[in-house]
């Protein structure tokens, strides 16, 4: 079975169980924390993928890191996937769970990258505009990237809209 199918199957099972126990949002928050932790710690991702490290050691490490931060259902799920030697899929399972949760709540993930920090009013305007155009509730993440020089990049799902000065200058240079 391929990695994607495994991740989807486990994420759907966890999602359905979380809904049955009225913990959908709690588990969403837990898996977002796990995803962000794995994003920020590439060594931990490599640790989980390593066949040289026992499942027992991986389970113990995950418990040490997460036991005071996540729900017992999330910990039991981690136990299950480590017992089944599926811990290397934890990151992709988290991504798939987050996608399922957001899709079923009619949310859309939006990342706004700008040259300067956006104020609340600017974020509110973008929020309303995106909501009206997509008929979904945006979950906005803002990032400052001074290399853009001005303007912004908007990433919605797998689509990117680039209205940065940096891109405009690149386009202008191509014309010259």
**Whole-model pTM over 0.75:** yes
Q: What is the CA radius of gyration of the chain?
A: 19
49-84 per-position pLDDT tens digit: 999 999 999 999 999 999 999 999 999 999 999 999
Query: In the predicted model, is pLDDT for residue 1 greater than 70?
Result: no
Secondary structure (3-state) at 1:
coil
Class of domain 3-103: mainly alpha
Any idea which residue has 């399922």 for tokens?
100
Domain ranges of the chain: 3-103, 107-175
pLDDT band at 158 (very low <50, low <70, confident <90, very high): confident
């Amino acid at each position: 079975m391929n990695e994607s199918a495994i991740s989807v199957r486990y994420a759907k099972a966890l999602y359905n169980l979380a809904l049955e126990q009225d913990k959908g949002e709690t588990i969403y928050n837990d898996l977002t924390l796990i995803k962000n932790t794995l994003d920020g710690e590439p060594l931990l991702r490599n640790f989980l993928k390593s066949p040289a490290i026992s499942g027992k050691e991986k389970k113990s490490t995950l418990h040490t890191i997460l036991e005071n931060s996540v729900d017992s259902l999330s910990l039991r799920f981690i136990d299950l996937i480590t017992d089944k030697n599926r811990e290397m899929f934890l990151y992709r399972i988290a991504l798939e769970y987050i996608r399922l949760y957001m899709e079923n709540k009619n949310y859309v993930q939006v990342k706004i990258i700008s040259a300067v920090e956006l104020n609340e009013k600017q974020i509110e305007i973008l929020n309303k505009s995106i909501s009206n155009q997509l008929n979904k509730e945006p979950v906005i993440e803002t990032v400052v990237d001074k290399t853009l020089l001005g303007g912004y990049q908007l990433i919605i799902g797998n689509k990117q809209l680039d209205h940065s000065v940096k891109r405009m200058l690149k386009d202008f240079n191509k014309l010259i």
